[in-house]
Amino acid sequence: MKKTIAGATALLISAAPVFAGGIERSTQSIGILFEEGNYLEFNAQLTKPEVDGNDLAIFGGSPTGSVAEDFNVVGFGYKHQFTDKLSGAVIVEHPYGADVDYPTAAQGGSVMLGGTKANVESAHISAIGRYKFNDAFAVHGGLRMTKASGDVSLSGLAYGPVSGYRARLDNDSATGWLAGVSWERPEIAARVALTYYSEIEHDFGTTETGPLVDPDGPGPLPSLPLLNASSTTKVKTPSALVLDFQTGVAADTLVFGQIRHVKWSDFTVDPQQFVQVTGGGLVSLEDTTTYTLGVGRRFTENWSGSASISYEPEGDDLVSPLAPSNGRLGLTLAGVYTQDNWKITGGINYTKLGDAQPETGTPDTARAEMTDNHAVSLGLRVGYRF
């Protein structure tokens, strides 16, 4: 039971769409560390979000059109058992990303935010070791390296004199770490693992461009290229604390879950010229806590399945236009087929995204309302044990 059903829990928790902070696409799971023996796996995920709404009625009520693009995520992992007590794993994934694109008014989209875009790409590798003191207690830890880049454009009446601004953040690589402890009771498939992920601080070479800005409004000074410059922008990907748990509750039946707190308030994007002109940054987010609870069941020698529910409470209704959702509720179903040393897991997830109001300006002013949105994901994981 432990080997087959636990495989489904890994896909349910780590491959379902995340959307925390608007740019997170995987939970950076360390579940591969708990596979038996030497283990190699490949995983892939396709997500189709539907995120749209309308400008507020006071601004004309134009439809925004669909603002979130489909995306794919692939990953790879290898775990090696060096001795009975010592093991290690290498994990390659793409934890962060964004493809936000508001259609322009000419394309039938938003008058307030049309033309606003964000593209974020990342690649991440973790090298993790695990040491078992005995059959019950173990520690794990390692290094993490992320390479990331971004491109943000602001457009629409909501941005006033800075509509047409663009910031390009060049590729940058930076490192962090993780550390944790675990407890297991194999005879009942019980396990509890607590893992802390450090923040990772990037220094992005940044090129800013934008329209001419009149520094004194209607005063005598001419409009100047105040938004145009090259500089360095510090961005921290957030720290996280994750509690994973599972236990057998009956023959061939497993209950599992996760509590995941991410400190998104540390994630800010504040390009030099934009801050000097507007007094604020591009992105400011709230911390998130996500709860997952599920059950797994082995049906035959080769087949097992799982179902789980994930819930992230809503925060402030006013959100960044670059992350236009607020909280989520998701259902994931997965099936696992095992044959000899092979394990194949497939899953489907439906996530209801919380309603939100994209805002701009100081003080924050709602410009649109995004309602009744969702995302559907398909995931596949293929593992080989040797």
DSSP track, 330-357 = EEEEEEEEEETTEEEEEEEEEEEEPPBE
Domains of the chain, residue spans: 2-385
In whole angstroms, give the CA distance from residue 96 to residue 87. Answer: 27
In the chain the first and final C-alpha atoms are separated, in Å, by 19
> Given this model, what pLDDT does residue 18 score?
55
Q: How far apart are CA 41 and CA 168, in angstroms?
A: 34
- DSSP string of 146-212? EEEEEEEEE-SGGGGGGTTEEEEEEEEEEEEEEEEEEEEEGGGTEEEEEEEE--EEEEEEEEEE---
CA dihedral 82, 87, 90, 91 (to 10 degrees): 140
* Cβ–Cβ < 8 Å for 245, 192: yes
Burial of 252 (0-12, 13-18, 19+ CB in 10 A): middle
Q: What is the pLDDT of residue 1?
A: 47
Q: Considering only CA atoms, which of 30, 35, 26 is closest in space to residue 338? A: 35
Please state, in angstroms and rounded to a whole number, the distance separating the CA atoms of residues 126 and 149: 19
Q: Which is nearest to 85 in space by CA: 28, 147, 135?
A: 135
User: pLDDT averaged over consecutive 10-residue blocks of the chain (386 residues)?
Assistant: 53 53 83 96 96 96 96 96 98 95 96 97 97 98 98 97 97 98 96 98 98 80 90 97 96 96 95 95 92 96 96 94 94 96 96 96 92 96 96
pTM of the model: 0.93
- What CATH fold (topology level) applies to the domain 2-385? Porin (2.40.160)
Q: In this structure, which amino acid lies at residue 265?
A: S
